[in-house]
Structure 1
Amino acid sequence: MSTARFTADEARRRARVRRKILKATTEAEIARQAKEDGTDTAAVGFRHALKEGRLRTVTPLDVAAIRAKTGLSQDRFARAFQISPHTLRNWEQGRRVPEGPARALLLAIDRAPGAVLRALQG
């Protein structure tokens, strides 16, 4: 098999996109074609869910701000709320995102840190 070599400009000139037809294509036609091709229809499903309002957005938590409101250092906050200091640093630096129970715990700490502390000391 030989390799075709050409510049980006040549590739653009060779590309034949019928924009009028592309623009007129409906979601139903895309879904039908995807079904016929056996391709992944996740993107089509996502677009429908988005249009129908079945998706919700999740607001990112500012973990550093939540901790700052308590006045605790990273180590003290981690110890007090039974979180790994390494995990806390990853959340604060954006390397990881708290999900599920961790997110719920942080939301509770944000709203009522004293109550959460009392519950954990229980």
Structure 2
Amino acid sequence: MLSMNKVETTIKSLCVHHDNLKFYIFNDDLPRECFQLMEKRLETLNSEIVNVQIDSSILKDYRLPFEGLSYATLFRYFVPKYVSEVRVLYLDSDIIVRKPIEELWYLDLTGISLVAVRDDFYTPIFNAVFLLINNDM
């Protein structure tokens, strides 16, 4: 289950450095009421939050590569379907942003669909908690 407290912490850490943001919260179980207070807070920063509820029943039959992963890990695959922006920064809900991120928007992504950080623990794969997605591919 996604914790709204963690989501709020990630959002606040981004808002310390930026305004005019749009947050898509992918989940399967957060009630609409969880978003109402954040909507009001984000209005003052000219930002918004979108509740993207995914029917978890379509995901529970998928086999995940590592034991202990939640089927919610697959939510990131729905970004192109639900997010219309060309450049998307996907962050897991336990990420704290410590500095401005605008340099990510200036990266040349011509011919590149995804930017990720190599996972040194599980080489040669990448860590999917932080993804820069070129939604234009």
TM class by smaller structure = under 0.3
- TM-score, normalised to structure 2, is 0.21
- Which protein is bigger by CA-based radius of gyration? 1
**Higher RCO structure (Cα 8 Å, ≥6 apart):** 2
- TM value normalised by structure 1: 0.23
The structure carrying a bigger helix percent of its residues is 1
User: Which structure's residues are more often strand, by fraction?
Assistant: 2
